[in-house]
Amino acid sequence: MIQAKVPEGLPQWMSEHVDRYLKSGGKDGHMYTIKPPGMDKQITVPALLLVTRGRKSGEKYLFPLFYGDTGNGGYYIVASKGGAPDHPGWYKNLVANPEVEVQVGTKTVKARARTVSGAERAKLWEGALKFWPPYADYAKKTPREIPVVVLDPV
């Protein structure tokens, strides 16, 4: 089981999701059902727990994130922050230290994070829009290119 701090200030639904995920050892919470903003119906999205090391504090922090499967044993996540003008803190942490821990369901792995670009990013971005359609709206709200990050198991 992953041991890390849940950052203060997470929205309540995220904190509840993390709590459920951790208490069940990943049996509950891996597939998360939610009604996305602007959509009429609920969807079920795969969710993982990402642990990064704080770039300033050095402490381990846990973040629940929706993800896709790369097809070769890895996973990918999107650093959208809902279309905010700045990157999320977890993304800044993994840029500073790409060695991360990931829990996907009941499976825990160590991984190395890398931001992708070009054709690889385009392909994964299209996949991300399938599991979380609001990413398209987030991209319209921000001048930054939203990073897509691959988590390669090590």
Is residue 4 included in any domain, yes or no?
no
Q: How far is CA 111 from CA 12, 25, 69, 98, in A?
A: 28, 19, 14, 8
CATH code, domain with 122: 2.30.110.10
pLDDT of residue 3: 82
* Residue 69 structural domain: 12-153
Q: What's the whole-model pTM score?
A: 0.94
In this prediction, residues 100-110 reach a mean pLDDT of 95
Report how far residue 53's alpha carbon sits from residue 92's, in angstroms, rounded to the nearest whole number.
10
Residue 147, in any domain of the structure: yes
Examine the pLDDT at 53 and tell me if it is beyond 70: yes
The torsion angles phi and psi of 72, rounded to 5 degrees, stand at -130, 30
Lowest mean pLDDT of 6-20, 97-111, 126-140, name the range.
6-20
Q: How confident is the model at residue 85 (pLDDT cuts 50, 70, 90)?
A: very high
* Mean pLDDT score of the chain: 94
| 6 in any annotated domain | no
The residues, ordered by sequence, that sit 6+ positions from 94 with a Cβ below 8 Å of its Cβ are 50, 52, 100, 113, 149
Q: Binning pLDDT at 50, 70 and 90, where does residue 1 land?
A: low
Contact 116, 75 (CB under 8 A): no
What confidence category does residue 39 fall into, taking pLDDT thresholds of 50, 70 and 90?
Answer: confident
Residue 12: pLDDT band with limits 50, 70, 90:
confident
Structural domain total, the chain: 1
The pLDDT value given to residue 38: 79
Sign of CA dihedral 145, 150, 123, 129: negative
Kindly state whether residue 125 falls inside one of the protein's structural domains: yes
